[in-house]
């Protein structure tokens, strides 16, 4: 038996750092996913081993079920319906199983993820042999919520096998949990995040679980559903940053310049709330969509200016800002700053396509412009990713092999109005991906992707 699950990463769209001082912030899921596959051995295999294969980091771990049971049987369980914190005693038992001394020094940070894996697996499924494979489109340590996506995707797969959630396994494609089951998933994923980070905010796992966007302020979270398709270029500067030191630096600056910094935080609060209003407001026509995009660009630029006032920018971030500004694109840092990632809004342009839909809406900037920006940034040593913003959250699939990262309907390219469907991976495929009430038409040819949006 096999189950596949996936969960998205996240960005902070607006309000980072200021949220620590009482301002509103907006976070959103991104169309870059971590995928987890769990396969139970068949009866003929006679396998009594728990195997973990995190393909992205090139490591592999295995434990005999008898060894795991001997170390953790005192816990009882499984207790899949009761999210539980890993106790210090249990943490020590898990550390003995992991044998951290055998970890490669360059990958020692992976040990906390393996720790979280063993806790979530044994708590939800108990002591069952399986092979768990993990792949991810998210760079680690870049502020895009890779650890939360891992915890959410893993927990989604585990709960789907535990019997704690109701799913119609006869349905094809990616299935989504019900509201109460999403809450259970989010609580378990948060327990995994606590093992990895100690005292996480819970924002990352919440965005990864539910998808779309959230607005948060002083511990209160409000879910947001965007009414417009958004696409971002995400530039990873590959510069490591010390989040704790950056947060402390903003606090120290606030002590030195109390009134000025409070004004900065109030301005950020206004920006976050206005941004949330813009993405939720209905777009009646082409002009209103263009106006919304222009507002978002201005809000991003203002937020970036205020982040510079807080002292959390970096030379690498400024290089990205100058590079994208050459092409009249708006950018801002996301997360802690001091390096990390930078967001660049990719606005749409009016373009009529094929007879597939009666009323085509808008499409991305020409591939040429995006390619030039990516080439310029790549020459600086940066990594560039493109992703939809505010899309779906966690999902699970039971029906055969799905191409990782691809979902929805498949459309074979044609010069006329006739259409036919085919399996994913066919030569010259075109994909229709549901995005709110719009469809994103993706044409993949010769390694170039042109994404177009239509309102059907």
Residues annotated as catalytic (active site), given as ranges: 204
What backbone phi and psi angles, to 5 degrees, belong to 14? Answer: -160, 150
The secondary structure of 191-211 as a DSSP string is HHHHHHHSS--SHHHHHHHHB
Query: Pairing relation of β-strands 49-54 and 130-136?
Result: parallel
DSSP-derived 3-state class of residue 295: helix
SS3 content of the chain, % helix, strand, coil (to 5): 40, 25, 35
Angle at 175 between CA 173 and CA 178, to 5 degrees: 165
Rounded CA separation 90/100 (Å) = 15
DSSP-derived 3-state class of residue 259: helix
Residue carrying structure tokens 């191409």: 403
What backbone phi and psi angles, to 5 degrees, belong to 231? Answer: -130, 135
Structure tokens at 427: 């030569």
Q: Minimal CA–CA distance to 380: which of 234, 240, 235, 241?
A: 235
Q: Could you count the other beta carbons within 10 Å of the beta carbon of residue 317? A: 26
> Positive or negative CA dihedral for 227, 232, 238, 240?
negative
- CB-based contacts of 101, cutoff 8 Å, min separation 6: none
Q: Minimal CA–CA distance to 243: which of 199, 273, 211?
A: 199
Structure tokens at 344: 């660049």
Rounded CA separation 165/182 (Å) = 9
């Amino acid at each position: 038996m096999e189950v596949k699950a996936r969960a998205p990463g996240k960005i902070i769209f607006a309000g980072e750092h200021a949220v620590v001082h009482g301002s509103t912030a907006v976070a959103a899921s991104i169309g870059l996913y971590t995928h987890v596959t769990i396969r139970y051995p068949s009866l003929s295999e006679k396998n009594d081993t728990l195997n973990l294969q995190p393909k992205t980091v090139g490591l592999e771990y295995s434990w005999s079920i008898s060894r795991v049971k001997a170390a953790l049987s005192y816990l009882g369980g499984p207790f899949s319906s009761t999210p539980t914190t890993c106790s210090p005693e249990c943490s020590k038992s898990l550390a003995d199983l992991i044998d951290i001394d055998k970890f490669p020094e360059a990958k020692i940070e992976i040990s906390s993820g393996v720790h979280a894996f063993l806790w979530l697996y044994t708590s939800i499924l108990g002591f069952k042999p399986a092979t768990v494979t993990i792949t991810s489109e998210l760079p680690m340590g870049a502020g895009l919520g890779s650890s939360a996506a891992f915890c959410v995707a893993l927990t989604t797969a585990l709960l789907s096998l535990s019997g704690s959630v109701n799913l119609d396994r006869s349905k094809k494609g990616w299935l989504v949990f019900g509201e109460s089951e999403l809450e259970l998933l989010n609580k378990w994923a948060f327990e995994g995040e606590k093992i990895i980070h100690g005292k996480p905010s819970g924002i990352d796992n919440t965005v990864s679980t539910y998808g779309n966007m959230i607005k948060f302020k002083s511990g209160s979270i409000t879910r947001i559903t965007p009414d417009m398709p958004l696409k971002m270029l995400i530039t990873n500067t590959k510069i490591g940053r010390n989040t704790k030191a950056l947060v402390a630096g903003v606090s120290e600056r606030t002590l030195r310049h109390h009134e000025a910094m409070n004004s900065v935080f109030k301005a950020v609060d206004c920006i976050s709330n206005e941004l949330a209003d813009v993405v939720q407001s209905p777009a009646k026509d082409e002009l209103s969509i263009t106006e919304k995009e222009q507002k978002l660009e201005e809000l991003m630029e203002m937020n970036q200016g205020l982040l510079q006032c807080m002292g959390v920018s970096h030379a690498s971030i400024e290089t990205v800002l100058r590079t994208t500004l050459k092409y009249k694109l708006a950018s801002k840092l996301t997360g802690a700053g001091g390096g990390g990632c930078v967001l660049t809004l990719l606005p749409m342009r009016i373009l009529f396509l094929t007879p597939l839909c009666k009323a085509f809406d808008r499409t991305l900037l020409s591939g040429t412009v995006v390619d030039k920006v990516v080439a310029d940034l790549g020459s600086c040593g940066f990594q560039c990713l493109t992703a939809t913003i505010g899309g779906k959250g966690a999902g699970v699939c039971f029906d055969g092999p799905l191409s990782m990262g691809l979902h929805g309907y498949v459309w074979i390219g044609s010069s006329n109005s006739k259409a036919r469907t085919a399996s994913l991976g066919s030569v010259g495929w075109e994909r229709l991906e549901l995005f709110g009430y719009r469809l994103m038409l993706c044409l993949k040819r010769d390694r170039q992707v042109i994404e177009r949006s239509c309102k059907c």
